[in-house]
Homo-oligomer: A and B are copies of this chain.
Amino acid sequence: MYVHTPTPSQQDQQARQAKQFKAPELLRSAFFISDGTAITAETLGRSLLSQFGNVKFDVKIIPYVDAPELAHEAVKRINETHRLSGLKPLVFDTIVSDEIRTIINGADATNLDIYEGLITRIANEIGETPDPHAGMAHGQVDSDDYKARIDAVHFALDNDDGARTNHYDGADIILVGLSRSGKTPTSLYLALQFGIRAANYPLTEDDLDSSNLPKVLQPYRHKLFGLTIDTERLVRIRQERKAGSRYASLAQCQEEQRAIQAIYTAQKIPNLNVSEMSVEEIATRILQITGLARRIG
């Protein structure tokens, strides 16, 4: 395999990460280990660790542990971490092969073997033997899901930020909101995660003069969904972008907020305050509120 020399920007990042983890006290290590991408192990593990909001963990991700020698290497890393820190690492793993799981479970750690028992219970209930390879096509480069996803990503790119307004017939949803209210990342997440074709259109000063919709949006009122954000957060985000500008002033933001709420009310546009939400939550709440169906998954 090609041996990669870290680039300057990677060295920066590694230094940043090293600094981040070099806290004065020793941190508890958590390993997320899988025979695949480790996204499932990581998603679940982080969700469990977030239940201990006051504790900081030193997280290590080991994907693609799909051979016994790789499992033995992982065990060495876990045991070494235990030895150096004196703290028993937490090991979250989602590994299908019994042989490999047994090796991982032999590490000197608190082993949180996620799949343990679950696959067997499902097999018993549905009366089928596990056959992981039968379903592998899902999501691959030329599968239908992949195509739907890529089409949705390109749709979101082409219809981002009001760049083009003549493709709204093909949109599943059109996000509207003030500048910097989270429309672009939400559109892309809807595309990547759910294959949904989301356009987005920023309502700017010109559009906020009256409670009418901009002409280009009028035929699509039923597809509109509004994102809102608390005024003080909006000011902070805009200040970071253009400090001291009228655009980022409290008065301007307050006026835009008042105007956009008037539009949402007059036009009966469903809307959501996303101030306390991650991109994932914004996207899943939109599906829940609108009833919009996914195109993939």
Chain A residues at the B interface, C-beta cutoff of 8 Å = 1-2, 4-10, 13-14, 16-17, 28, 36-40, 42-44, 46-55, 59, 63-64, 88, 90, 94, 96, 110, 112, 114-115, 118-119, 121-123, 125-126, 128, 130-136, 138-142, 146-147, 149-150, 153-154, 157, 160, 171-172, 182, 184-185, 188-189, 192, 222-223, 229, 233, 236-237, 240, 268, 270, 274-281, 284-285, 288-293, 295, 297
Contacts and interface: CB of A to CB of B under 8 A. Distances in A.
Contacts of A53: 131-136
Given A153-B184, A274-B141, A291-B6, A110 B119 contact: no
Given A4-B291, A90-B126, A149-B279, 14 more contacts: A4-B289, A10-B290, A37-B280, A39-B43, A43-B44, A47-B94, A51-B130, A51-B131, A53-B132, A59-B297, A90-B125, A110-B122, A112-B121, A146-B278
B142 A237 contact: yes
A278 B139 contact: yes
A122 B13 contact: no
B142 A236 contact: yes
A166 B185 CA distance: 23
A59 B194 CA distance: 14
20 contacts: A8-B222, A10-B293, A13-B295, A14-B293, A37-B280, A40-B44, A43-B43, A50-B132, A51-B96, A51-B119, A51-B132, A52-B128, A52-B131, A53-B133, A54-B134, A54-B135, A63-B288, A114-B118, A142-B237, A189-B192
Oligomeric state, in copies: 2
A110 B90 contact: no
A188 B118 CA distance: 33
Nearest to A283: B37
Contacts of A134: 52-54
Nearest to A227: B141
Nearest to A268: B2
A276 B140 contact: yes
Contact of A141 (B2, B10, B131, B182): B182
Given A52-B130, A118-B48, A138-B50, A284 B39 contact: yes
A154 to B, nearest CB: 7
Contacts of A146: 278-279
A64 B10 contact: no
Contacts of A36: 281
Nearest to A223: B7
Given A2-B268, A52-B130, A122-B90, A293 B192 contact: no
